[in-house]
Amino acid sequence: MLFAEADDELPIHELAERAGVAQATASREVARLAEHGLVVTRAMGRNTLVTANWSLPWARDLRSILVQTVGVLGRLGAALGRVHGIERALIFGSWAARYSGEPGLPPRDIDVLVVGDAALRSVRRAIAAVERELRVEINPVVIDRASWTAKKADPFVAQLKNQALVEIPLERQ
């Protein structure tokens, strides 16, 4: 959770809630991880705040693997893979920029581009559970393949193609 999704410090009670475990279990596991240097903790009043230890030489690589498998990309890929008519799905905007290494503030939402003839309503329905689970707003846009592959792209498509795009690996059912 800390390496794949959280960019900030989390109190142990929130980490436990997100992970779906008892707070005592989360506290015990956090203590074990901190003992081995995988996470960093600090006391703030009666709360213990936890963050991933980003100074580890392999921390960014681990995040990349987790994001693609169980994090944002993995969850979106599983959800969107069930929607008929999606040829490709990509993340754009600030999330894609940060993922690609561009400096800036952590993203507050996720912009998703769907290429194909899927109904926007179906895409929104598919990602609703991911939004609730990750506690982040997801903004989908659907563009048909002809518009995406046109030699003379409309201004919005041209703008999309000139920024960071992160492919969502679709898990076809």
Nearest to 96 by CA among 146, 133, 138: 138
User: Which residues in 21-42 are b (16+ Cβ under 10 Å) and which e?
Assistant: eeeeebbebbeebeeeebbbee
HSE, CB side, 13 Å, CA atoms: give it for residue 61. 3
Nearest to 122 by CA among 140, 97, 109: 140
Q: What is the pLDDT of residue 38?
A: 93
Q: Which segments of the chain have a pLDDT < 70?
A: 5-7, 67-70, 173
Q: What is the pLDDT of residue 117?
A: 96
- Read off the pTM: 0.68
Q: What is the pLDDT of residue 6?
A: 59
What confidence tens digit (pLDDT) does each residue in 142-164 have? 999 999 999 998 999 999 999 99
Q: At what angle do helices 59-69 and 72-80 cross, to 10 degrees?
A: 10
In the chain, the domains with their CATH numbers are: 1-64 (1.10.10.10), 71-167 (3.30.460.10)
